[in-house]
A and B are shown apart, each in its own frame.
Chain A
Amino acid sequence: MKQIVVISGKGGTGKTTIVASFAALSNAKVIADCDVDAPDLHLLLKPKVKQTFDFKSGKKAFINEEECINCGECVEVCRFEAIEKIIENDVINKMIIDPISCEGCGVCFHICPVNAIEMRENLTGELFISESKYGTLIYAKLNVAEENSGKLVSMVRNYAKHMAEKENKELIIIDGPPGIACPIIASITGVDLALIVTEPTLSAMHDLDRVYKVAKHFKVRSIVCINKYDLNLENTEKIKKYCKENNIDIAGNISFNPIVTEALVNSIPVVEHIDNKVSNEIRDLYNKTINLLC
């Protein structure tokens, strides 16, 4: 079984658009959306949810006001500024924990002299096994304001692997998150190939370099796709040069075309929306990617 992940560093370069078309083009795959912060792929693939799992991660501190003696030791030790002393008329009135700032480290719980703090398990998201006309899609939704632990991403990938084995599928296509930190690290470790989607803009090129280095750091092979390549041909040449210098294969170029947005508004993968230059470019990208994977 092979795994391919689509990433970019900078957000909004076209990862999900490309993954949706790949999903429509391949018939031997399971699809996984690892952008658990803002999962959008299901909007295009319109799957039916078959099973839902709770995702629990870490704990949060709660103060039992009746037990609390307002000594303030917890405030002193908390490095995340999550506990606030409420002072009224020069007297400490009570302690309040901000659940959003609480990191769940439990130091306050351990230090409290009267055991007034309790650590409660935290429900931070949900994972969905779903069925789309393009195959099984595993996706998840982290609750807003939660820790974007790579753990939920890893859980998505584990279920995807499990489903691919069960269904005897040879390929897992992963829609990756933006950025370069924990969710992206969890999305790329152990995959066979990372397709980096970039644009000929200085911002996207800057972030291409950063995400490429992350992939390299974790020993994942990268290939590149230049989306909207005709928006700035000079920058496109620079990307090609960069790729050559770093020995990165360019798997394809996609031209700028408003039809891509039109397909998105209609919630249809581009290759199914229309047969034109752009859809052919995506087809070529898909074929080349699969060739490079094997």
Chain B
Amino acid sequence: MIISVASGKGGTGKTTVATNLALSIDNVQFIDCDVEAPNAHIFLKPKIEERIEVSIPIPKVDKSKCNYCGKCAEICAFNAIVVLKEKVLVFSELCHGCGGCSLLCPEDAIAETGNKIGIAEIGKSDNILFVDGKLDIGEPMSPPLIREVKKYINTDKTVIIDVPPGTSCPVIEAVKGSDFCILVTEPTPFGLYDLKLAVELMEKMEIPFGIVINQSDIGDKKVEQYCLNLNIPILMKIPFDKDIAFEYSKGIPIVVKKIEKKQNFKNLYQQIKELVK
């Protein structure tokens, strides 16, 4: 089973829920797909055994074959290639790696070469298999790296995916293929507004989902009311606790500090198993 942990709004507690869930159940693989701001390693402290460079294919023009016909520039949907009188310019940061230019060049003058955008890290944290991705500074596109990181998914395990915030392409790439998605929110107007967007996304992607309300005793009751009205299951509530916040700040998960809390996350997992059936 693949369970992803997402939220529209950032900083609601995705990584907290994902890492504590991973630490509370057996036979887990953890995949951190928030490649722009990957934080799960801070809590799971994995031993990284392998680091793999990830690149996307970008065009490489063979000047001896190119006759500057301009076909590649004409078909590139992302304006990543420009043909001048006797020169072809490639803008690697605009290239999506679709391979169209190379495929359609009438002179067969375009090969592809790798442009590094980040790394995938593979390791272990006790019994948890761990994978994360780190996007290089200055690189604009995270989805290709997320795709690459997800290639390491081992479906013999319960896979837990930590998803980046938002509701657009990086989130879709991370959530795609999940059997269930946990949406983490907080009981504030921001939390509610962004939760609605995340719900809309889940419905569009047809992925079953449920809600975890973090810091459930701050703010108001509107998130709860919204879930009740729409019959969305509230799987868990985590009240605000200054001790836990302090431990969090040091990179210590809740269930490591308070072992008895594992039961809450086991219950969360049981509910998800029921809902996926």
A contact set with B: CB distance below 8 Å: 9-13, 16, 37-38, 40, 43, 58-59, 77, 79-80, 100-101, 103-107, 110-111, 142, 144-148, 150, 177-182, 184-185, 199-203, 206-207, 210, 213-214, 217-218, 231-232, 235, 258, 261, 264-265, 267
Contacts and interface: CB of A to CB of B under 8 A. Distances in A.
Contacts of A214: 137-138
A203 B188 CA distance: 22
Given A12-B9, A145-B205, A210-B137, A110 B248 contact: no
Tell me which of A144, A213, A218 has the highest count of chain B C-beta atoms within 10 A of its own C-beta: A144
Given A103-B98, A106-B100, A145-B168, 15 more contacts: A10-B10, A12-B9, A37-B197, A38-B167, A105-B78, A110-B75, A111-B104, A148-B169, A150-B140, A180-B135, A181-B139, A203-B42, A203-B248, A261-B218, A265-B219
Specify the main secondary structure of chain A where it touches its partner: loop
Interface string B1-22: 0000000111110010000000
Contact of B98 (A105, A199, A210, A217): A105
B171 to A, nearest CB: 8
Interface in B1-53: 8-12, 15, 36-37, 39, 42
Nearest to A202: B251
A235 B249 contact: yes
Nearest to A180: B36
Contact of B96 (A43, A101, A105, A146): A105
A43 B98 CA distance: 39
Contacts of A77: 99, 103
18 contacts: A12-B11, A37-B166, A38-B193, A38-B197, A43-B190, A43-B193, A79-B97, A100-B176, A105-B98, A144-B167, A148-B168, A179-B37, A181-B139, A181-B141, A181-B142, A202-B42, A202-B250, A202-B251
A291 B78 CA distance: 40
B1 to A, nearest CB: 21
Contact of A105 (B100, B142, B165, B201): B100
Interface residues on B, range: 35 or more
Contacts of B164: 178-179
A136 B219 CA distance: 28
B224 to A, nearest CB: 13
B12 A12 contact: yes
A214 B138 CA distance: 6
Contacts of A218: 138
Given A40-B9, A202-B42, A79 B36 contact: no
B191 to A, nearest CB: 9
B189 interface: yes
Given A37-B168, A59-B77, A111 B15 contact: no
A9 B138 CA distance: 13
Given A145-B205, A214-B138, A11 B9 contact: yes
B201 A144 contact: yes
A195 to B, nearest CB: 17
A107 B246 CA distance: 51
A142 B250 contact: no
B172 interface: yes
